[in-house]
Amino acid sequence: MRNDAVLVRKRVIGLVNAVLFAILVIVFGHLRVISGPAQATAAEDIQQSIWTRTNQRGFEKISESGFGSRHNSYAWSMAWFKGKLYVGTNRDMLCYLALVFGTDYPPEIPDVDCTNPDYRAEIWAFDPQTSSWERVYQSPEISPGVARDQGYRGMIVAIEPDGTEALYIGGYLSKELLANYPARLLRTTDGRNFKEVKSRVPQVLGNIDTFGLRSFAQYKGKLYMTANMNPPERPRLMEIDLATLRDEGDHIRADITQVNPPQVQPFEVEVFNGYLYTGTVDPENGFSVLKTDATTKDENGYYNFIPVVTHGAWRLDRFGKAAYNLNEYVISMCTFKNRLYIGTGCGLGGFDFVTKVGPAPAEIIRINPDDTWQLVCGRSRRTPDGLKAPISRLPAGMGNPFSGYIWRMAVHRDWLYVATMDSSIALRNPDIMDLLNRGNSDISTLLDLVKSRGGVALGDNAGPNLSGLVGEKVTDLISGFDLWKTRNGVQWYPVTMNGFGDKFNIGARTMVSTPVGLFVGTANPYYGAQVWLGDDRFPFARNLQAEPDGQAIKLRWTAPAGSIASHIYRKQLLGMDIGLLKDEEAGPLGFEEIAVTREQYYLDPNVEMGTTYIYQVRAETESGELSSRSNLALCRMPGEGLKIFAQNPRPERQPGQWTQVITLINQTGLTQSSPLYYILEGLSEGTSLLNQSGTAENGSPYLMISPGQEGILPREKIRLQLRFSTSSRSRSKSAINYTPFVLTDPLEP
């Protein structure tokens, strides 16, 4: 009865929230979103209205779903061009996928109607001065009902040699929809007149196997784009010499050539550190990241590509076995603070049933200027470059096993925003549920958890029994894409974990930073794509950190100016389920408020050894309102194999400062020759991130790391001294002295 009451209460709360949100959409939608003339509004007014009117963390929906037609499935491409936002769509995506894979669309899946698909892709423009949308282009038809373009997959604003600013749009179509035609490249200089760009050598861009133009970059004055090809043809990287553009009336001609060798299968391109980087797709060996300076070509006309990261970043499966192809694709790339961030994925939303790869959640890595790389989120692993452990302490999918893609990244106001594709809405179909609930995957593990137990003991609160929780009930709890932001790659702040409150928003497919704010375009193949605008400038607690302190967990953070108290929320980690529930959910499976304090630190004594906890903090203002949530902070309490031997606070220790010395004794029976990373495995996540080894003067192995490296927060400096017993008769032990101390004021955040 109690469990039923809990579920009923959650449904009632969810219904009330949905009604309130619908009222907001209706009221403000009619005032600001309807296409057509409207009163001019300055960018500052738009921003202020968003910050004061919406409860979606500073983001407001500014378009009708599907721009008034649910046929517009994805906001598939996006660019800021001459003071307006341009959005390219694809059409009836689920109907198209059913056609491609040769199956009738399953009738038991609601909310999709494939009886009369319309595949004519569209381009829409948003004018922030009038808050109005206008369709500026629609795909022509080859014959009645047969669209020339099914979607517009990529956009870029390029500066041509004569200074002309032009918007280039990559088209998409399938041989199942239109045989014997290639994908088109469109160009416009005014946002209204669009012409096709054709290659002087027809078989290059005019190859009928070219079905999609996805990723673009401008480098050394030339335009580069990735071209997806129908198998057995492999993906290509095309170079457009903008100096050769010639207007030939109804179209444009240019020199377009393939510049990648066949063994390089490009999917994403990005300029970083003076090179053109490409991320590849490889369903057998996992993705690679390569770079070129695009200077000299071989006898075949291909540039030299230097490998930077290979073998899918040496990914492991959940059993610790090599599974490089779980990182099948480089889905997204973004340069941020002199590092190149890479988002991975498995095809088809995390489970590529064509190549039999997955299911698996996506990971993030980042490449440094010297081409060394770090794991940002994912599973720890040994690689030829040493131990790689996630500097964010977050597992793959940012903790959501249904995040099959890290779909898009964008930099806005000194933040890196990262958006996912969440495939959990497919669980509404029992056949798909059965398909996923098998094999070696994090998703099958989670489904077992949800269906059989649903929760574990959380302090004194027992988790509810969610046996039989399938279909709509599952998706109500977990569906909708996640959007995160960070300023350092270590601490991550959730913006939304439920698709801005719409479970049918399976992904944030496009993001663009503009003077007006950050635009986010969604993929919603059920009711139509949406566009959201915001800046997420609300005050929030920052720099939350958590670490074991004896038998408790010590927290500290930086509260925003003007706050009078901080509310602390905690959740026990259930395997891979950080993203298991929506942001707003509380209770045994969600975040539970455990304390309110006026300080900027807190000692949580109600924890269990060998358990991982997740924390967030919200600041309270003088008016009683709560801020947005802080970054997530994960803390793993040492298990039975590693116990606290002694803890000696320094004499100068003050409340809120971490100046204690902790000595830990390894009791796992590891021998002297055991790898250091195994010995450190039982420590808290922060110390297990160290990977620089050497030898001290006395010959003992040691690890040392400087501030800001490999997951150690900017205010920390940590030295670990490991000393081994040499007796072969007794259990080998190692003493670890762990001494963090405050060096400077914390960096932002």
Q: What is the pLDDT of residues 229-248, one digit of tens each?
A: 988 899 999 999 999 999 99
With pLDDT > 90 as the criterion, what percentage of the chain qualifies?
Answer: 50
Least reliable range by pLDDT among 110-114, 125-129, 418-422, 584-588: 584-588
Strand 339-345 to 518-523 pairing:
unpaired
Where is the domain boundary, 636, 664, 685? 636
Instruction: Establish if 102 belongs to a structural domain.
Output: yes
The verdict on 340 and 257 lying in the same domain is yes
The verdict on 495 and 399 lying in the same domain is yes
The verdict on 208 and 347 lying in the same domain is yes
Instruction: Establish if 747 belongs to a structural domain.
Output: no
Mean pLDDT on 186-213: 93
The verdict on 576 and 519 lying in the same domain is no
Give the span between the Cα atoms of 86 and 388, in whole angstroms: 40
- With a cut of 80, say whether residue 70 has pLDDT above it: yes
What is the model's pLDDT at position 578? 64
The verdict on 90 and 160 lying in the same domain is yes
Strand 552-558 to 222-229 pairing:
unpaired
The verdict on 450 and 365 lying in the same domain is yes
Mean pLDDT on 475-494: 90
What is the model's pLDDT at position 359? 84
Mean pLDDT on 211-223: 97
- With a cut of 60, say whether residue 460 has pLDDT above it: no
What is the model's pLDDT at position 81? 98
The verdict on 391 and 519 lying in the same domain is yes
Give the span between the Cα atoms of 362 and 360, in whole angstroms: 7
Q: DSSP letter string over 570-602?
A: EEE--TT-TTSS-TT--STTS-EEEEEESSSEE
Instruction: Establish if 154 belongs to a structural domain.
Output: yes
- Total domains in the chain come to 3
Where is the domain boundary, 534, 560, 590? 534
Instruction: Establish if 748 belongs to a structural domain.
Output: no
Mean pLDDT on 382-392: 89
User: Cα 471–474–476 angle (5° rounding)?
Assistant: 105
The verdict on 679 and 711 lying in the same domain is yes
The verdict on 562 and 416 lying in the same domain is no
The verdict on 37 and 137 lying in the same domain is yes
What is the tens place of the pLDDT at every residue in 97-132? 888 877 655 555 667 888 889 999 999 999 999 999
* Signed CA dihedral, 71, 75, 77, 83: sign only: positive
What is the model's pLDDT at position 601? 93
Mean pLDDT on 63-82: 97
Q: Where residue 401 falls among pLDDT bands split at 50, 70, 90?
A: confident
CA 535 to chain centre: 18
Owning domain of residue 63: 2-534
The verdict on 605 and 654 lying in the same domain is no
Percent of the chain as helix, strand, coil, to the nearest 5:
15, 40, 45
What is the model's pLDDT at position 15? 33
Residue 227 burial (C-beta neighbours within 10 Å; 0-12, 13-18, 19+): buried
Least reliable range by pLDDT among 210-224, 297-311, 379-393, 577-591: 577-591
What is the model's pLDDT at position 45? 52
What is the tens place of the pLDDT at every residue in 527-564? 999 999 998 777 889 889 888 887 899 999 999 988 99
What is the model's pLDDT at position 387? 86
Instruction: Establish if 175 belongs to a structural domain.
Output: yes
Give the span between the Cα atoms of 437 and 361, in whole angstroms: 14
Where is the domain boundary, 579, 612, 636? 636
Instruction: Establish if 335 belongs to a structural domain.
Output: yes
- With a cut of 50, say whether residue 376 has pLDDT above it: yes
Strand 195-199 to 251-258 pairing:
parallel
What is the tens place of the pLDDT at every residue in 297-340? 999 999 999 999 999 999 998 778 899 999 999 999 999 999 99
Q: What is the mean pLDDT of the chain?
A: 76
How many other CB atoms sit within 10 Å of the CB of residue 164? Answer: 11
Least reliable range by pLDDT among 376-380, 399-403, 711-715: 711-715
Instruction: Establish if 744 belongs to a structural domain.
Output: no
The verdict on 497 and 600 lying in the same domain is no
What is the model's pLDDT at position 538? 73
Instruction: Establish if 749 belongs to a structural domain.
Output: no
Q: Which of 582 and 451 is assigned the larger pLDDT? A: 582
Q: For the domain that residue 631 is a member of, what is the CATH number?
A: 2.60.40.10
